[in-house]
Structure 1
Amino acid sequence: MPPQLSILIVGAGLSGLAAAIQCALSGHSVTVLEAARELAEIGAGLQLTPNATRLLQSWAVYPLIHAPCEPATCTVQDYRGAVLAHEDGFAENCRRKYGAPFADCHRVDLQQALVKRARELGVQVVLGARVCGLDFDLALEDREVGEDDGRTQVQVKVDDGRIWEVDLVVAADGLWSACRSVLLGRRDAPLPTGDLAYRIVLREEQIAELDPRLRDMVGTPGVRFWIGPDAHVVAYSMRGGSMYNVVLLVPDDLEEGVAKVEGSTAEMRALFEGWDPMCVAYLLPLPIHYSTFANGADARLTQLLSRVDKVDKWKLMHREELPSWVNAQSNLVLIGDACHPMLPYLAQGANSSIEDGAVLGLLLSPSHNPKFTSASQLSATLQLFQTLRKARGEAIARETFKQRKDFHMPDGKEREERDRVFAGWLGKKEELEKSKVEFPSRWTCPVVQPWLYGYDAVQEVEGAAGR
């Protein structure tokens, strides 16, 4: 019989729920502890890329997501109105190249779909359970006489006095991970990146107030970027076009130690005054197409922001790379934002976290990893997990900073050279796809996009396990 572990996952975010589903499918007893008392509708939109959606499909989760939008187009636009890059049939192209969809959805819709599937598989999801104590050296009482494989269990305490004793703790407690500090033996706070985000969700009644052409844009799903000096904007439809997600990325002006505050809509609009103008009164020596509204209509970005009645400012944080994601006793492993948080500039925070959960659960399945035939092999299996995931997760995190550089260039020679690269490939999707050039937008880069979207967790595990 394959070994059955008792696994406790700290955190019911995307990485924790992904790990719960795959570990349950691998035959283990899984409990998820979540500090929040309810999985409320918080957060905003997120973009699901094929490296994650192929997993969601295999778990029968993707059909449970409420009205995901597969974008028909992907457009990068200069803050002064120039279309720098554009791809029609974007979602269709993703399915063709990677065999899985690219989709935009509300974060809570994905979380609820994951929770539903996890519970169907027998996972216990316990809300209102904040972990306050971890003891990694609990002796195994059911060990047979004379057997000593060096393993210990973990005792997990929550703040209301409940206790669990398990074989493995999976720390999926996010950016502000307490388990990370336990692993390091010291308090370890996130570090500021120098950027902050205004996160906006336009509701159906706000969309109804838009110019008819803007309503059509929202109702026809597409991913749109505006890029400019020290800032950029990303916007896309979700829930079948009934909501529009807008994220504004700008320099951080929050005080040290402040992670989130209510923002000023007037201040927000002032930061983007003059972006995406109605008309362009100058020419650049480049074959760049300018996209404008006629008949005196407001510029798209200006009009979108005019409908915002409330906004929060979120400081964007990151973490230094850890020497190890696994503790000395090999009964604690970190996944997701607890070990490799990343800027949102490639939409890979959620997607790489889902990858983490899948790879961990697959490695704990003898049918995918023939080397895992006994609980005594847990230590070696966690080391293999770290080998497979650490380099990729940290490399993606570094790549997000490179995307920030290319999207936030100030006016000058470097930006002009970037725009020449954009202009040279505008309207040449097939040629770009076949090339090996480093493209300024990694969303359609022929080098970076296949590396991100083409990742297959099952193939990764089975290849490493020698299947």
Structure 2
Amino acid sequence: MDGTQHPVSPARLDVIVVGAGLSGLASAIAIALSGHNVTVFEAAKELQEVGAGLQMTPNATRILKRLGIPSRFWDLAAEPTFVQVHRYSGEVLMTDHDFNVGMRAKYSAPFLDVHRVDLQLTLYERAKDLGVRFHLNERIHSIDFEMPEVITASGAVIEADLIVAADGLHSRCRDCFLATKGSRDKPQPTGDLAYRIVLELDQISDPELADWVSNPSVHFWAGPGAHAVGYSLRAGKMYNIVLLVPDDLPPGVYKQPGSVEEMRELFKDWDPILNRFLTLVDKVDRWKLMHRDELPSWVNDESNFVFVGDSCHPMLPYLAQGANSAIEDGTVLGLLLGHLQSKDQLPQALKMYEALRKSRGEAIVKEAFKQRDSFHMHDGPEQQARDEILRAPIKAPYPSRWSCPQVQSWLYGYDAFKEVEEAVAANPFKTESPESAPVETRAEQDAPQASVIFIENPDEADSVVVPPVEEKENYGSAADNNTAKQKLANGEGKPSTHAVAETAQEKKGWAGVTSVLKRIFCIE
């Protein structure tokens, strides 16, 4: 199914999207495909070619295909063949083998590592092809929610039927919205900061490092109070490294040039191969990682204003779901607007959007914090118990949510198109009343049990039932997806295997494991 098969509304609303980041561009595309007029306001003078790596998971890559994203985006992506979690010393704790095969077989969509610039510019290109209008260097000053209309810093006043707040972590739209409630909030530090590094393959003369870059895979290093991630970009021509460490930036400073020497000192006792990569770095920036409190609602009382992306649910990068969930938001919103028969049904569509998206977005935020706790354990009994679980064959619950069967299927198995079709079929928009019946969503039903239960009896871990993932729209190369499925059917390339004859867990039993499970997986 491609972008031309969206539901198309006869209502033809005028929609303003504030922000040309990933959530704003995805929203603009999906809303335009649904038959509405879309104008995007962006504070930046141009969409600059700066940024680092992103991990695009199947819940978003299947959307991007159906939105009709240009082919050059797919050509520039890297598809990792395996995922490894290392102890910070370099010891391999687990390997998720044939990861690309497993992703396509289970979800009919790939897991891709991409450069943020490549994604943003291809989304921008697609939006312009659909007739979306862009006003760059236009910062929003205020919003009149009764009209509704936006007032820019230059004094322009623009009316619309709907305003979409997609202006990110430091959202001006959020400030305006909360002011109507007599409230305000601001981004809060998470206690972490990130060093972001991108290396070019032609910079790397070390044959072993060059092999890592040109043969895409994902590597995590879990250490005391910190962790690192490395993966290839641009079809194996670039390498992205993110180092997550305790935040020591001054209050109010969100980005600052970092000291390469200080960075290397922090990781001097880590995996030698990681340190060999770090010797190639000649400059680096440090980014403070922030979050915000949950909003009481993502829709205003007048039902003419709605939030998407980081403006309502900024996420730590530890599950790589910030961009992916932002694309989910924009797509679900656009699809619902495609089902409008008249403008009078807009309140029902926005109510359904919030029901479909808010609980899922906020649950992912919590899961990301829990993944940090799992990877940042200090050496000791809990860390040892975690490592025992990682060394064992993968089953839920599992300390790496990237491979945990329950969490992975909840994240990657999400189909925005199916969610909308099922919700609208169950609760069709009414022509007389602006109110719709409460929407029960699979997003609420399918939240990962591993994050909300504590298995008192370890024998119960084997009895956890993970529902099979239904067949999804074939993405990209159907031959690739079908080949992946055939390999699994033949017993080849099964993901998540370990070359371990007898694990420490089997030798020692579950002593110490229940305490670490409680710490990792229970949300208070």
TM-score under structure 1 normalisation?
Answer: 0.87
1:274 matches 2:269? yes
Partner of 1:59: 67
CA deviation after TM superposition for structure 1 residue 53, in Å: 0.3
The answer to whether the Cα contact below 8 Å between 1:53 and 1:62 also exists between their aligned partners in 2 is no
1:456 matches 2:415? yes
1:242 matches 2:237? yes
Partner of 1:71: 80
Gap runs ≥5 in structure 1? 139-153, 277-298, 367-371, 426-431
Cα distance in structure 2, aligned partners of 1:160 and 1:444: 49
Partner of 1:351: 324
Cα distance in structure 2, aligned partners of 1:187 and 1:44: 31
CA deviation after TM superposition for structure 1 residue 64, in Å: 3.3
1:15 matches 2:23? yes
Cα distance in structure 1, aligned partners of 2:253 and 2:60: 32
Runs of 4+ in 1 over 4 A off after TM superposition: none
Structure 1 SS opposite 2:402: coil
Counterpart of 1:189 (choices 186, 190, 193) is 186
Which structure shows the bigger proportion of residues in helix conformation? 2
Partner of 2:135: 126
CA deviation after TM superposition for structure 1 residue 187, in Å: 4.1
Whichever residue aligns with residue 350 of structure 1, its letter is: A
Gap runs ≥5 in structure 2? 1-8, 427-524
Residues 284-295 of structure 1 aligned to structure 2 (within 5 Å): none
Whichever residue aligns with residue 309 of structure 1, its letter is: D
Structure 2 SS opposite 1:357: helix
Cα distance in structure 2, aligned partners of 1:465 and 1:187: 34
Counterpart of 1:44 (choices 46, 49, 52) is 52
Cα distance in structure 2, aligned partners of 1:49 and 1:358: 15
Whichever residue aligns with residue 104 of structure 1, its letter is: D
Cα distance in structure 1, aligned partners of 2:335 and 2:314: 22
Cα distance in structure 1, aligned partners of 2:262 and 2:273: 18
The answer to whether the Cα contact below 8 Å between 1:68 and 1:238 also exists between their aligned partners in 2 is yes
Which structure shows the bigger proportion of residues in strand conformation? 1
Whichever residue aligns with residue 158 of structure 2, its letter is: W
Structure 2 SS opposite 1:60: coil
TM-score under structure 2 normalisation?
Answer: 0.78
**Aligned residues, how many?**
414
Counterpart of 2:211 (choices 216, 219, 224) is 216
1:258 matches 2:266? no
Cα distance in structure 2, aligned partners of 1:251 and 1:49: 27
The answer to whether the Cα contact below 8 Å between 1:57 and 1:63 also exists between their aligned partners in 2 is no
Cα distance in structure 2, aligned partners of 1:174 and 1:32: 14
Structure 1 SS opposite 2:146: strand
Whichever residue aligns with residue 403 of structure 1, its letter is: Q
1:417 matches 2:385? yes
Whichever residue aligns with residue 166 of structure 1, its letter is: A
CA deviation after TM superposition for structure 1 residue 155, in Å: 1.6
CA deviation after TM superposition for structure 1 residue 62, in Å: 5.8
1:160 matches 2:147? no
Cα distance in structure 2, aligned partners of 1:60 and 1:423: 41
Structure 2 SS opposite 1:465: helix
- Listed one character per residue, the Cα deviations across residues 368-416 of structure 1 (whole Å, up to 9, x for unaligned) are xxxx321111112111100110000000000001000110000000011
Cα distance in structure 2, aligned partners of 1:380 and 1:396: 25
Cα distance in structure 2, aligned partners of 1:38 and 1:257: 25
The answer to whether the Cα contact below 8 Å between 2:70 and 2:126 also exists between their aligned partners in 1 is no
Whichever residue aligns with residue 197 of structure 1, its letter is: A
CA deviation after TM superposition for structure 1 residue 41, in Å: 1.2
Cα distance in structure 2, aligned partners of 1:188 and 1:119: 34
1:381 matches 2:349? yes
CA deviation after TM superposition for structure 1 residue 204, in Å: 3.4
Residues 299-448 of structure 1 aligned to structure 2 (within 5 Å): 299-366=272-339, 372-425=340-393, 432=394, 435=395, 437-448=396-407
Cα distance in structure 2, aligned partners of 1:358 and 1:461: 9
